[in-house]
Structure 1
Amino acid sequence: MDNLCCFKFRRGPSSYSSGKGKNHEGDIKFGYELVKGKANHPMEDYHVARFVERDHHELGLFAIYDGHSGDRVPSYLQKHLFDNILNESDFLVDPKRSIFNAYEKTDQAILSHEKDLGRGGSTSVTAVLMNGQRLWVANLGDSRAVVSKGGKAIQLSTDHEPSTERASIEHKGGFVSNMPGDVPRVNGQLAVSRAFGDKSLKSHLISDPAIQDTIVDTKTDLLVLASDGLWKVMDNQEAINIARRIKDPQKAAKRLIAEALKRDSKDDISCVVVRFR
């Protein structure tokens, strides 16, 4: 059984959610903030932020799930994706392969339960911190993970945009629209080129997650995960500069979202900040 440590968490969507926690030793702290955007639909952003113990290893689990065409897929991811990752038999031996396999299995489960989960989908960015020493980041879509090393912003996720993966989409029989005043979209619909779900478009998409890892060394001070509601109006270094000035990670997440709103971001905005030192 996993032991949750110092963890405050609200399940289910709401117009506003905020919380914080820390690891067992108390030297790594996290905070999160989620705010509903101006669109006339329920909140579609979900998150995970917690520490667990697994086979004598401490694992920090952090994620942002940004849904589209409904909130059922991101809600499903919040409940199941990390369990699927940790239940891979070789997770502690080969985290990269385990994360890849779990993403694939989770997507297949979502597609097979379309009757219950609907035809929508979700982007995802997940981060697994192993014993406070190594960080594994995986993503589908445009939710993003950025780490600060010596104050320099380093993006650990890959923005999956239709314009950058046009050749693959067209090779699979799809197309990328470029309507005036709009962003490029797969078949005129989806604004990202990789995501969980979206069964009607799946034959035209690549579903493989991008996976990167980094050592958490003495220069690594914090990690920011956020949905595109933040990144549409703020670049990586701006976000890191703002977050580094605030010691309390919950207040840092709150400040980042306040700045995004000030810059007129209209999307749902979710943010997790992890401070390593």
Structure 2
Amino acid sequence: MSVAAQSCPSPVVLNVRVLADALNNKQNSPRTCASPSSVCPSPHRSIIVNDGNSLFLNRSTGQNHLNKTISSAHSFNSFFEPEEWKPDKENRADTRTSYSPGKNKKGMRRALSERMRPAKLDIPEIARLASLTKTAEFTNVSEQAASGHNVNVHQHETDQYAVASKKGCKDRMEDFYTASVKFAGDTKQQAFFGVFDGHGGKHAAEFAAANLGRHISAVLSKEDSSSYVEDAIRRAYTNADNEFINQHLSSGACAVSVSVKDGRMVVANIGDCKAVLCRDSKAESLSTIHRASSQEERQRIEKLGGMVDCYNGTWRVQGTLAVTRSLGDANLKRWISAEPSTRAIRITHDCKFLILASDGLWDQMTDQEVVDCVRKVLFKAGEPKSRPGISSTSKLNALNELIRIACQRGNRDDITVMIVPLDVFTS
């Protein structure tokens, strides 16, 4: 072997040395960005981590307070003083990452860490928050536990009504309610109450709670004869439905409402929300349940060319929706009607109180069970006299007992219950 051959390193050794020299030069040289649009890995990664921590701290320290503020001040346009309704907007951070099959696990973790995005940040709309604080007297429209976290039972009460609601197993509460009472002199009282049960999202129920009263007030102001009141309210439901459909938002809502004026009340409902009257000590249903299990409703839908089938024991329209009437549900509007069932009643002295509730209550308790439970709490001393003293505490206790029984019997849905004593509206 020649000397030249002995002193000449092998190609493998040369390659290793060249690679080592290249790595040393790379480590000793400063990192620069070739252009403003290029990315420097280390500084960029540290900025993301710092921003992510600060966003997380802001969210963890301020989010609960923000949610409580919205929930406690969530007053929309009242039945008498409407304002423009706008849906919530959610900004979702892009958290998508890429994956190359040829990379090893360590390389993949590095790629994922470099592509991390800050946590989602909910930025309130200042104008919307400001409008929510405008609460008219005797008026409250509330979204129950909008965030769906850290809230058990929402309660609200006045001398004229009380309401309680509890979120079910969904990520977000989709029940809403509205209540407006206006006194015009010593003998004339006007009121509007409603409970709205959303499905497929909260927007339809939120819109109905904010705007249905306005539509009903508008049509009633044009009617001089009480014989046309029920027709006017049916028109108001349809008008509200058309307005929501034009918002191009998904979701739908069942609803039950009662309009009170001059000693008379008109109850309207669509879907499976219901109103029950306590007349003396007997329960009297004032609503018609609109579900696909109803033969009359099935025939109506099939006549329109729709399909109603039974899936796992539940009848559904087009294989999806169990109710046959609702607000919203634009994709099924060819078959799903927004025309409510109505019932007009004169309020007399034997009308004690009215219960409005979503199906979370009625699926677990009969009408008479609900009335008996409320009477047991309200009138512990026995049969009520001509004007029983129904305290705010007793109304809330009665509602809490109803919710407790429904949950004990297996309810997993959102549940909202409202009680309206009728003695103040007696003609």
Q: Is the TM value for this pair above 0.5? A: yes
Q: Distance in 2 between matches of 1:140 and 1:266?
A: 21
| CA distance 1:54–1:44, change in 2 (3 Å) | farther
Over 4 Å off, 4+ runs = 1-7, 53-57
Contact 1:222–1:244, Cα closer than 8 Å, also in 2: no
Contact 1:172–1:205, Cα closer than 8 Å, also in 2: no
Structure 1 counterpart of 2:278: 148
Find the residue that maps to 1:245 and give its secondary structure: helix
Alignment of 1:72-221 (within 5 A): 72-88=203-219, 89-91=221-223, 93=225, 94-114=228-248, 118-131=249-262, 133-164=263-294, 165-180=297-312, 182-221=313-352
The one-letter code of the counterpart of 1:210 is: S
Larger radius of gyration: 2
Query: Per residue, is there more strand in 1 or in 2?
Result: 1
Alignment of 1:43-62 (within 5 A): 43-53=173-183, 57-62=188-193
Structure 2 counterpart of 1:34: 165
Contact 1:4–1:53, Cα closer than 8 Å, also in 2: no
Identity %: 28
State the 1:10 CA deviation: 5.6
Of 156-165 and 199-208, more deviation after overlay is shown by: 199-208
Of 239-248 and 190-199, more deviation after overlay is shown by: 239-248
Contact 2:138–2:182, Cα closer than 8 Å, also in 1: no
The one-letter code of the counterpart of 1:221 is: K
Q: Distance in 1 between matches of 2:180 and 2:396?
A: 13
User: RMSD of the TM alignment (CA)?
Assistant: 2.0
The one-letter code of the counterpart of 1:37 is: G
Is structure 2 residue 420 aligned with structure 1 residue 274? yes
Find the residue that maps to 1:178 and give its secondary structure: strand
Q: Distance in 2 between matches of 1:57 and 1:5?
A: 17
Of 194-203 and 248-257, more deviation after overlay is shown by: 248-257
State the 1:72 CA deviation: 0.6
Contact 2:196–2:205, Cα closer than 8 Å, also in 1: yes
Is structure 2 residue 374 aligned with structure 1 residue 237? no
Q: Distance in 2 between matches of 1:91 and 1:20?
A: 32
Q: Distance in 2 between matches of 1:37 and 1:220?
A: 32
Structure 2 counterpart of 1:246: 377
Structure 2 counterpart of 1:257: 403
Of 139-148 and 80-89, more deviation after overlay is shown by: 80-89
Give unmatched runs, 5+ long, in structure 2. Answer: 1-79, 82-134, 146-150, 379-393
Q: Distance in 1 between matches of 2:141 and 2:222?
A: 30
Q: Deviation per CA, 1:70-128, whole angstroms, max 9, x where unpaired?
A: 001100111100011112232564421221111010011111111xxx22100000011
Find the residue that maps to 2:205 and give its secondary structure: helix
State the 1:129 CA deviation: 1.9
Q: Deviation per CA, 1:18-64, whole angstroms, max 9, x where unpaired?
A: 11112xxxxxx31100100012x210000012312479942121111
Q: Distance in 2 between matches of 1:73 and 1:136?
A: 22
Give unmatched runs, 5+ long, in structure 1. Answer: 23-28
TM-score (normalizing by structure 1): 0.89
Contact 2:200–2:251, Cα closer than 8 Å, also in 1: yes
Q: Deviation per CA, 1:162-202, whole angstroms, max 9, x where unpaired?
A: 1211111111111112122x411111111101000101111
Query: Per residue, is there more helix in 1 or in 2?
Result: 2
| CA distance 1:36–1:203, change in 2 (3 Å) | same
Contact 2:355–2:417, Cα closer than 8 Å, also in 1: yes
Q: Distance in 2 between matches of 1:111 and 1:190?
A: 17
The one-letter code of the counterpart of 2:308 is: V
Structure 1 counterpart of 2:77: none
Count how many residue pairs are aligned between Structure 1 and Structure 2: 264
| CA distance 1:91–1:242, change in 2 (3 Å) | farther
Structure 1 counterpart of 2:158: 21
TM-score (normalizing by structure 2): 0.59
| CA distance 1:92–1:269, change in 2 (3 Å) | farther
Q: Distance in 1 between matches of 2:223 and 2:253?
A: 24
